[in-house]
Amino acid sequence: MDFNDIQNAWNNEKTDNIVLPDNIEKIQTANTPLDKIRKNLRHELIYQIVAIILIGFVPLICDFEPKIMKTFYLFFSVFVAVCIYYLVKLYLFYKRLNNITLKTKDSLYETYFDVRLNMELYKTFGFALTPFMVLFLVGFFYMEFSKKANFQIIDFANSQLISLFLVIIFSILLMGVFLEWWVHFMYGKYAKEIKKVIDELKEE
């Protein structure tokens, strides 16, 4: 192989991942918001596991009737299964974040899109729990009204049913608004900082 062949082979090498020193420093500035995302996610995983355990003791603390307790734990078992599914996915995301080293543009892009993808996963997790919140509200209203003597479900007045329906709709909407705010507060603003670094690299 002569010098021209060597030069041609060199020119044909991909240079996308070759990063200048200034760019390396800029890429590594994304580590700060990434550390905050890791920290928030770690705390949330712990708090949510503790919350699930505490919810499991609600019937014992509130002294539910045996019939209501059985119904509660039936739905609680489904609730736990849904939580495990999403918490495992979020834990795997947390493990990926711990193994990331931001040294190339590609690693920065991949990390940013992984963060965005898991932000949507978190929202899906919240919406998956919404039906359980609705069931809790229905159960709460039922327990309150059932304290009346000779109570039957047919005793619900139309106004009470409408009130219950409005409470459920409002709760679902409130859950959606809260989720959007919470995800932005915990992760979104840091994802924007990473995106800002990406945009600055594109301009160079």
> What is the reported pLDDT for 153?
52
Report whether pLDDT(167) > 60: yes
Give me the number of domains the chain comprises.
Answer: 1
Looking at 5-14, 74-83, 157-166, which range is the least confident one? 5-14
- Within a domain: residue 81? yes
N residues, the chain? 204
- Cβ atoms within 10 A of the Cβ of 129, count? 16
9 assigned to some structural domain: no
Q: Is the pLDDT of residue 63 over 50?
A: yes
- Whether 136 maps to a domain, the answer reads yes
Please give the DSSP secondary-structure letter assigned to residue 187: I
Dist. CA 73–CA 51, nearest whole Å: 15
Does the residue 96 lie in any domain? yes
pLDDT at 3 over 50: no
pLDDT of amino acid 16:
47
Residue 137 lies in a domain: yes
The residue ranking higher by pLDDT, 120 or 28, is 120
Q: Average pLDDT in the 158-164 region?
A: 67
In 3D, which of 127, 134, 157 has the Cα closest to residue 145?
A: 157
Give the range among 66-70, 73-77, 118-122 with minimum mean pLDDT: 66-70
Average pLDDT over residues 30-48: 90
Q: Which residue has the higher pLDDT, 190 or 143?
A: 190
Which residue, 80, 10, 94, 82, is CA-closest to 44?
Answer: 94
Q: How far apart are CA 113 and CA 129, in angstroms?
A: 25
| 38 within a domain of the structure (yes/no) | yes
Look up the domain containing 35 and give its range: 30-193
Residue 157's pLDDT is 54
- Is residue 13 in a domain? no
| pLDDT value at 4 more than 60 | no
> Using 50, 70 and 90 to split pLDDT, how confident is the model at 66?
confident
